[in-house]
Structure formats: C-alpha cells, structure tokens
Amino acid sequence: DGQVLTSTGAGSPPAFEDPAGGGKVLQVVQATSTSGPTSTTNSYATTNLEASITPSATSSKVLIQMVSPMTGFAGGTEHNRGSLKVYRGGSSGTSVSGILSTYYGEDDMYADAAIVYLDSPSTTSATTYTVMFARVNGSGEYSFNRDGAQTATLVLTEIGA
C-alpha cells in the first residue's frame, strides 16, 4: 500500500507508516548542444544550450546541472577570465545561478566547466533555462564547448517540496 516499515525504538516492534513527503524527483528534462560559440566581449550572450520544464506545483524546486567540456581561451595574453551563468526565462530573463568565473593563467587553455544550482521558480508555467557566457577580461577568444567538437549538457530536474 505504499507504506514503509520503520523502527519505533529499541524494544518495540516495527510499524508500517506512510513515507515522508517531498524530495521526490517528479520529472527530468535534458538538452544537449554541439554548438561552439565564442565571445570577445564582456556582454553575456547565449551559448545555444537551453531547456524548458513545466513544474507541477509552485512549491517545486528545479535542480539545474550543466556541464560543458573544453571551455576556455584560444590565443590572447595571460590573465584571461571567462564567465558562465544560467538565466531563467530565456536569454533576456533573470540570472538565477551564481556566476562560474574561470581564470586562465595562459593563452590556449581549456577545462571542463560545470554549474549546479537549485532554483525555486514558484510557477507552474513552462520555464526556460538558458546558459549564458561572456569573456570577463583578457584578450583571447572565450569558447564555450570548444569548436563544437564535444557535447555540452543541461539537465533540469523537478523536485517535489
């Protein structure tokens, strides 16, 4: 009947009870991109990696997980720094994640980039999450998912409250 067997304490018989509520995965949405956009400005632009999810309750949380292999700089001088963040509501929406700011001490340096963030969209409407990027400083060309030769992934997981 969907109940779980729990302990009622030392010396007492166990009892069947209803499981604890909340924290359940309600749905998972995944998007991938092999696009390899570049930036030479400090204005945030879309990486072309986005996904939409429709929460089933306003109390639901959305766990955002993004990974992009081979993100970094081609050319330029030392002290290059790039930044990634996630926007809710598309590229003109609101930044919801913290900023992943990566420093590259030399030119032609690449590394995997990842963002994990728990959002509270407070809606039951379709909600789009878009990964944005910018070159913060330096003179190189900041590449997301270098040359599009790899696959960047965005996973949205609705978690019930």
Model confidence at 138: pLDDT above 90:
no
Q: Which residues of 138-148 are buried (b: 16+ CB within 10 A; e: fewer)?
A: bebbbbbbbeb
Read off the pLDDT of each residue in 52-58 and give the average, rounded to a whole number.
97
Segment 38-49, tens digit of pLDDT: 888 888 999 999
From the CB of residue 129, how many other CB atoms can be counted at a distance below 10 Å?
27
Segment 60-92, tens digit of pLDDT: 999 999 998 877 766 666 677 788 899 999 989
* Tokens of residue 122, six digits: 């407070």
* Tokens of residue 112, six digits: 């995997």
Residue-level length of the chain? 161
DSSP 8-state secondary structure symbol assigned to residue 99: P
* Tokens of residue 84, six digits: 């990634």
Segment 103-131, tens digit of pLDDT: 555 666 777 888 999 999 999 999 999 99
Report d(CA 63, CA 119) in Å as an integer: 6
Report d(CA 151, CA 69) in Å as an integer: 7
67 burial via Cβ count (<10 Å: 0-12, 13-18, 19+): middle
Cβ 159 vs Cβ 59: under 8 Å? no
> In degrees, to the nearest 5, what angle opens at C-alpha 52 toward C-alphas 46 and 57?
135
Model confidence at 101: pLDDT above 90:
no
